[in-house]
Structure 1
Amino acid sequence: MTRSIIAIIRGVTPEEVEAVAAAVLESGIDKIEVPMNSPDPLKSIGILAKTFGDKALVGAGTVLNVAQVDAVKSAGGQLIVSPNCDPEVIAHSVAQGMESWPGVFTPTEAFAALKAGATGLKLFPGNMAGPDGLKAVRAVLPKGCQVYAVGGAGPENFKEWADAGANGFGIGSAIYKSGMTAAEVRSKAEAIVAAYDEALV
């Protein structure tokens, strides 16, 4: 079963990334984002692409320019997530055959992202928009448009977000914080999956 959850492992190092990602995958999450402001992110993405590329969608977060898109592609990544809506980054990612999930907060940004070819939208920061904000924007978005809530979405409110129109979630510190062991990550990821399944499945 594929769950609409992207695990954001910000701060992970190349030395630990394989064990951390294995823990995430074993919990039932198969989308993993290594933010570009992590230590040596391209090396980590390369390790993940080589080790888990056939069973996981692997890529980068906090991608801000076209050069970074190319670097992630060269490392073997297939997923580009950004905190902002940059039509050039979106169009380039899609042209490279990669998934593009730009950060949007307003209807203007959402439609600009979709026009540029975004795979889906990352509502960010989700805690500022809230489910009510998503519900209002969802009313004008095209049918079938995928929206992931990132920031402020977690086990305690998955159902509320889903009822407001969220298709999925990006989960960061609730799964991984710098320095966590693989066992801790697996325990946290399993709790996220259990809450997700209860609320959405």
Structure 2
Amino acid sequence: MTFQEQARRCPVVAILRGITPEEMLPVCEALRTAGIRLLEVPLNSPDALESIRHAAAKYHAAGELLAGAGTVLTAQNVRDVAAAGGRFIISPDANPEVIRETKRLGLVSIPGFFTATEAFTALRAGADYLKFFPAGKLGPGYVKDLKAVIKAPILAVGGVDTDNIAAFLDVCAGVGIGSALYKPGKTPAEIEQAAAVYAAAVR
């Protein structure tokens, strides 16, 4: 199942910053049970590629979850993620080299932007989605204004919570949620409970 199909089912990307390979499958299962199917493993997490490898091996063939990487800064990072089985690439910036390598390898490209100039730079390089970060400071109104000229799907990340998620999803194709879902030390049961709240909010 593609990123786009999973996002239509539940437009929440769980950002698993700091996760370890040992935690990965129990956390995946907690999120899957709650209905969240897109998992971002930031590359500054411990042994991030191994975590992606675990999720890809268990879930990708069945189409139950889709794992990708965040904090991807170089073309070599993209190649490493592709080799580990990751299916999408999320970056904090709009680096054309990273975007072009992502597309060359057949992965979904989701670079970060804050201004219209950055958004157009990313789109000219071939980006599929745009990650608006940090979203909470400027809010859904800023995205709505940008969409007058930017015709690509946008994911809002940073400062999205259960109070404003509906407003963001009125103008965005999805949202990224970090520590409200996962942070080191949270149990799978706590993660599933938090994820269920977000899954219900997007329904």
Deviation readout 1:142-178 (Å, 9 max, x if unpaired) = 2xx2101001112111122133x11110111111011
CA distance in 2, matches of 1:87, 1:127: 26
Deviation readout 1:2-54 (Å, 9 max, x if unpaired) = 11111111111111110001111111111111000111101101111101112
Q: CA deviation at 1:130?
A: 1.4
Deviation readout 1:38-84 (Å, 9 max, x if unpaired) = 11101101111101112222111000000100000111111100111
CA contact (8 A) 2:11 2:202 kept: no
CA distance in 2, matches of 1:159, 1:49: 30
* Residue number in structure 2 paired with 1:107: 116
CA contact (8 A) 2:13 2:177 kept: yes
CA distance in 2, matches of 1:58, 1:177: 17
**Corresponding residue to 1:175 among 159, 164, 181:** 181
CA distance in 1, matches of 2:11, 2:76: 28
Q: What letter matches 1:171 in structure 2?
A: I
Q: What letter matches 2:68 in structure 1?
A: G
Aligned length: 194
Percent of matched pairs sharing the same residue: 45
Q: What letter matches 1:156 in structure 2?
A: D
TM-score w.r.t. length of structure 1? 0.93
What runs of 5+ residues in structure 2 fail to find an aligned partner? Answer: 1-7
Deviation readout 1:121-141 (Å, 9 max, x if unpaired) = 100111233112111111111
* Residue number in structure 2 paired with 1:18: 25
Aligned partner of residue 21 in structure 2, secondary structure = coil
Q: Could you list the runs of 4 or more consecutive aligned residues of structure 1 that deviate by over 4 angstroms after TM superposition?
A: none
TM-score w.r.t. length of structure 2? 0.92
**Corresponding residue to 2:197 among 191, 194, 201:** 191
Aligned partner of residue 22 in structure 2, secondary structure = coil
* Residue number in structure 1 paired with 2:40: 33
CA distance in 2, matches of 1:29, 1:104: 24
CA contact (8 A) 1:149 1:169 kept: yes
What runs of 5+ residues in structure 1 fail to find an aligned partner? Answer: none
Aligned CA RMSD, in angstroms, stands at 1.1
**Corresponding residue to 1:134 among 133, 140, 143:** 143
CA contact (8 A) 1:49 1:76 kept: yes
Aligned partner of residue 18 in structure 1, secondary structure = helix
